[in-house]
A and B are shown apart, each in its own frame.
Chain A
Amino acid sequence: MMRLITSGAGALLGGLMMLAGVTGPAAAQGTGSATLDAVKTRGQVLCGMSGSVPGFSLPDSQGVMRGLDADTCRAVTAAALGDAAKVKFVATTTQNRFTALQSGEVDMLSRSTTWTLGREGNLGLMFAWVNYYDGTGFLVKKSSGVKAAKEMDGATICVQPGTSTELAINDYYRLNKMKFTPILIQDQAEIQGAFLSGRCDAYSTDASALATFRFSQGPKADELLLLPDIISKEPLGAVVRKGDDKWFDVVRWTFAAMITAEEKGITQANVESFLTSTDPDIRRLLGIEGDMGKALGLDNKWAFNVIKAVGNLGEMWDRNITPMGVPRGINNLWTKGGLQYAPPLR
């Protein structure tokens, strides 16, 4: 309930912070990155996430934030500060997330956010990497008898406002000359409740979130059907502000390090045994030779810290997404038919 109120206020607060300019970039010094300097001084990475999407970011029974987005935050924190525990999770809504990032309320955003031209061009943001290649899907009740998206002419669809899903559905219906009635509710729990109570014929968002939502329904999951149609490309990624390229590099190469680790078979458990490796790629990755970390303004053991904290990209997937019953598909490594491909670390 409170989230509902704070989300609107959050956007306003962000706007006000921008007005007051309390977080104007400090003069370049040290690493040459205002954000990285601020992070080091603060001893904390402020990471914007949702906090309410199973598989991406949701506190477990111990109150520990779990999920792919949460682990992305941890990985970047481990790279920047050497200790993943120094991450501070900041809950954001679909509506206030960009303002929070723009105004400096958070250092980065890892909140199932789709990489689009508009967001990079208009919002002053940059997408450092994609942690989930997703697409818009539809979740319906089996009792409705709908089997494909094309059968949904005239349907009422529950969507969260301010998302790229909103635009994707609109495009899909326009393309297929069909009509729909949107029900736009900001709060995740409210909109899911509206769908379950039958206010909408379908609930639409990223297929990943639909799969995890369906999974979270427990025994009732069988009453829900995820339609096979994926109507748009939704690459979800980690976002930073424009104008701080050094910080952008830190976030981008953290992903590259996790992918390289997976390519080389380095895991959270066995990373120490690789410290004696003779493979030059591994030696550079783990900071034994070359000054890769220094080039980023970090410790040379940055990638070692990342792998020690969250493991490689595959481990992150297995830990968070596999339990939700979603196959890795195109999110696999390029060597296994997926899209994740890291440039060389040298």
Chain B
Amino acid sequence: MADTHADPRMSSARSSPKRSMSFAWSDPAFRAIVWQVLIVGVVVGVIWYLISNTANNLAARRIATGFGFMDRIAGIPIGESMIPYNPAEHTYGRALLIGVLNTLKVAVIGVVLATLLGTVIGIGRLSKNWLVAKITAFYVETIRDIPLLLQLLFWYTLLQGLPSPKQALRIGDAVFLTNRGLKLPLLVWEWQHTMVLATLAVGLVGVFLWSKHAKQRQDATGVRPATWPIGCGLLIALPAIVGIVLGAPLEIELPVLRGFNFQGGLTISPEYFALLLGLVVYTAGYIAEIVRSGIEAVARGQWEAAGALGLRSGMVLRLIVLPQALRVIIPPMTSQYLNLTKNSSLAVAIGFQDIVSIANTTLNQTGQAIEGIAVIMAVYLTISLSISLFMNWYNAHIALVER
């Protein structure tokens, strides 16, 4: 053992020994490749079999295939739509788009409301007030234990018990509550209103930039310049001035009882409201538990240490507790957002026309079952992946930077 450099680890030019792969079963590299080729081959084979078999069966049963139906005139009635729709001239493609928009309308508003309600209830469960803690605990335990479908039917039946349009519950001549839905006054939208909204967006950007500047000043000088006068100016005064200068009309359209129902104004249908209410109430039960566990995951010592540093309680929550709690809260919260979105497909049961409802009707009228279900799956996949991507980005954004 005279030459210590014989040890390859000691040689300056370290490289793994070159070894040609042998085609023997005893060679692990060869075995690995064989297994991978086999598994990929089987997966591709199964998929190919399913597709070709489906195509053969469809052809044997003389069932038309393809997405050509998307360009056909739909002729199916749709109750509520965010974009203009006339069954006599618009296509199945547009009908399906309305379904997607209706699903998004429930999912987006539902996620926001469920987060707010869930957070309040979650914090409520941690309250030192006995009554608040017990009521919120009761809420969580009850709501989580009843199937969502039953809750939706319950809310829908409850809303149907409201009086008919002729005996509407009312606030003055503006707001009416009936079994046909909630009727609200509607601002007649003009281009000036769009300008006001644009100014508000500009104002928001301005406030964001100003608060960044304020933070820099604080870091540099230790004094934080006041942000609220600028904020008020940008967010309230500026849009108001733009509105007045452009002469934005304030014409309000009131709902009026004519014939069978109220005409004009804004309508929130019982179907939409029951679905939204059911989803929000149900999901909030889960979100409450996530928020509670997140806050409880922050050690007591963190609160005390922050207090010892002389931070105010609001700052303790904002600077010390929340950043640590959010790390625990965000990942399960993502699952709840996905659940809420997917659960919105129960809309079929209470007659709200979401993507599942419209795609079901479409596949029934056109007979394109596989295409229709593929559309539903693609829509949910796209929405869910978008939520996941956003939440993952946010999770990375708020993650503690470890040094």
Give the interface of A toward B (CB within 8 A): 1, 4-5, 8, 11-12, 14-15, 18-21, 24-25, 94-95, 98-99, 102, 118-119, 121-124, 144, 152-156, 159, 161-162, 166-167, 169-171, 174, 180-187, 190-191, 193-194, 197-199, 201, 241-243
Contacts and interface: CB of A to CB of B under 8 A. Distances in A.
Most buried by B among A20, A119, A124, A242: A124
Given A122-B64, A166-B77, A190-B349, A184 B260 contact: no
Given A15-B370, A170-B76, 19 more contacts: A4-B149, A8-B360, A11-B369, A19-B54, A20-B53, A25-B60, A122-B64, A122-B367, A123-B367, A124-B61, A155-B259, A167-B76, A170-B88, A174-B87, A174-B88, A185-B349, A197-B160, A197-B179, A243-B61
Most buried by B among A5, A167, A181: A181
A162 B364 contact: yes
Contacts of A185: 349-351
Question: Lowest 8 A-B CB distances belong to which pairs?
Answer: A162-B364, A123-B367, A185-B351, A182-B77, A197-B160, A124-B63, A124-B62, A124-B61
A205 to B, nearest CB: 14
Nearest to A174: B88
B77 A162 contact: no
Contacts of B364: 94-95, 98, 161-162
A183 B260 contact: no
A184 B357 contact: yes
A153 B259 contact: yes
Nearest to B363: A11
A156 B87 CA distance: 16
Contacts of A5: 149
A20 B180 contact: no
B367 A199 contact: no
A191 B350 CA distance: 9
14 contacts: A1-B150, A4-B348, A19-B53, A24-B60, A95-B361, A98-B369, A102-B61, A124-B58, A152-B260, A162-B361, A170-B77, A190-B153, A190-B351, A198-B179
Contacts of B369: 11, 14-15, 18, 98-99, 102
A174 B259 CA distance: 19
A19 B50 contact: yes
Nearest to B351: A185
B97 to A, nearest CB: 17
B78 interface: yes
Contact of B365 (A162, A186, A243): A162
B367 A95 contact: no
B161 interface: yes
Contacts of B122: none
B54 A21 contact: yes
Interface in B249-274: 258-261, 263, 270-271
A11 B75 contact: no
A184 B351 contact: yes
A272 to B, nearest CB: 41
Nearest to A1: B149
A281 B317 CA distance: 94
B350 A182 contact: no
Nearest to A11: B369
Interface string B199-215: 00000000000000000
B149 A243 contact: no
Nearest to A182: B77
B79 A154 contact: no
Contacts of A11: 360, 363, 369, 373
Contacts, number: 156
Contacts of B58: 18, 124
A190 B56 CA distance: 38
Given A166-B76, A201-B260, A183 B351 contact: yes
B335 interface: no
Contacts of B349: 4, 185-187, 190
A8 B263 contact: no
A339 B363 CA distance: 32
Interface string B163-176: 01000000000000
Interface of B: 50, 53-54, 56-58, 60-64, 75-79, 87-88, 149-150, 153, 157, 160-161, 164, 179-180, 258-261, 263, 270-271, 348-351, 353, 356-357, 360-361, 363-370, 373
A162 B144 CA distance: 33
A177 B53 CA distance: 47
A199 B180 contact: yes
Contacts of A15: 369-370, 373
Contact of B180 (A156, A162, A182): A156
Contacts of A99: 369
Given A167-B365, A183-B351, A199 B260 contact: no
Given A180-B77, A243-B60, A122 B53 contact: no
Contacts of A152: 260
B61 A154 contact: no
Contact of A12 (B367, B368, B373): B373
Contact of A183 (B61, B62, B271, B360): B271
A11 B371 CA distance: 12
Contacts of B357: 161, 184
B258 A154 contact: yes
Contact of B50 (A8, A20, A241): A20
A160 to B, nearest CB: 10
A161 B364 CA distance: 9
B356 to A, nearest CB: 7
A18 B360 contact: no
B348 A197 contact: no
Given A15-B369, A95-B360, A154 B260 contact: yes
Contacts of B356: 8
B75 A122 contact: no
Contacts of B56: 21
B181 to A, nearest CB: 9
B77 A169 contact: yes
Contacts of A94: 364
A123 B63 contact: yes
A187 B347 CA distance: 12
B371 to A, nearest CB: 10
A114 to B, nearest CB: 12
Contacts of A19: 50, 53-54, 370
Contacts of A8: 348, 356, 360
B358 to A, nearest CB: 9
Nearest to B161: A197
